[in-house]
């Protein structure tokens, strides 16, 4: 595996709450924090994920990995109504736009609330490790959520650097994690489907054969 350098830990901290969104994004962050000797608790709060079967699948992968490593996972409720209310009017925003900002805000506000209720002075998130996300946007949401409570801080760290991105891929392969092909919400699922059909049509135009499609049961409400 790509060599890991010692993680620079914020001064005076020995425990941290980590918001996890899915196993592929979490593996490297979890192993880096554990290797640094910090006491780690995971919180899973992702009401953005659609449909519920996908939500359950991503959560189960996190629990499987965390159980192996003897890490406590806090399972927050699946409350999609709260999420849909939060992003109302932003349905057609592009990814990394204002809808994603609200989505990160909500998830990290819930994380910050749990942190202050349970005596954590520091929390962080694996959201920023994905190259599909805007790390600055995630970090701004994290700091905003932390600022709601006195004595609470958001740990801003570039989990991609010093080989983090490579280890993320290596751990995903090693653990045979389930890998989704869209960010999570119904709107990102819609966009992913659109991308696939545009690609198929382009291929069909070049080959002269009619386009193909994935043979699966479509459970989305569209």
Q: Under a CB-based contact definition with an 8 Å cutoff, are residues 185 and 49 in contact?
A: yes
Candidates 13, 73, 78, 95; binder of ligand SF4 (CB under 6 A) is 95
Collapse the DSSP code of 185 into the 3-class scheme (helix H, G, I; strand E, B; otherwise coil) and give the result: coil
Candidates 27, 47, 128, 184; binder of ligand SF4 (CB under 6 A) is 184
Per-position b or e across 107-123, b if 16+ CB within 10 A of its CB: bbbbbbbbbbeeebbbb
In whole angstroms, the minimum distance from the beta carbon of 49 to ligand SF4 comes to 7
* Per CB under 6 A, 164 contacts ligand SF4: no
Q: Is 50 exposed, middle or buried (0-12, 13-18, 19+ CB in 10 A)?
A: buried
Candidates 17, 33, 103, 112; binder of ligand SF4 (CB under 6 A) is 103
Residue placing its CB nearer to ligand SF4 in the complex, 192 or 198? 192
* Per CB under 6 A, 48 contacts ligand SF4: yes
Tokens of 124: 């962080």
* Per CB under 6 A, 155 contacts ligand SF4: no
Q: Is 202 exposed, middle or buried (0-12, 13-18, 19+ CB in 10 A)?
A: exposed
Residue placing its CB nearer to ligand SF4 in the complex, 71 or 184? 184
* Per CB under 6 A, 44 contacts ligand SF4: no
* Per CB under 6 A, 185 contacts ligand SF4: yes
* Per CB under 6 A, 108 contacts ligand SF4: no
């Amino acid at each position: 595996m790509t060599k890991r350098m010692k993680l620079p830990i914020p001064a005076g901290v020995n425990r941290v709450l980590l918001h996890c969104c899915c196993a592929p994004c979490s593996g490297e962050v979890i192993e880096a924090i554990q290797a640094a000797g910090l006491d780690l608790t995971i919180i899973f709060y992702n009401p953005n994920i659609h449909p519920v079967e996908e939500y359950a699948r991503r959560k189960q992968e996190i629990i499987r990995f965390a159980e192996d490593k003897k890490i406590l996972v806090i399972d927050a409720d699946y409350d999609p109504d709260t999420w849909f209310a939060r992003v109302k009017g932003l349905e057609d925003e592009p990814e990394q736009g204002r809808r994603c900002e609200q989505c990160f805000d909500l998830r990290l506000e819930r994380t910050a609330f749990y942190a202050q209720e349970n005596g954590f002075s520091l929390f962080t998130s694996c959201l920023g490790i994905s190259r599909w996300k805007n790390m600055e946007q995630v970090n701004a949401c994290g700091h905003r959520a932390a600022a709601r409570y006195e004595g609470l801080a958001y740990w801003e760290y570039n989990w991609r650097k010093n080989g983090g991105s490579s280890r993320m891929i290596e751990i995903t392969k090693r653990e045979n994690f389930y890998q989704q092909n869209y960010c999570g919400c119904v709107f990102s699922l819609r966009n992913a489907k659109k991308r696939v059909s545009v690609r198929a049509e382009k291929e069909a135009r070049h080959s002269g054969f009619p386009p193909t499609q994935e043979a699966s049961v479509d459970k989305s409400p569209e």
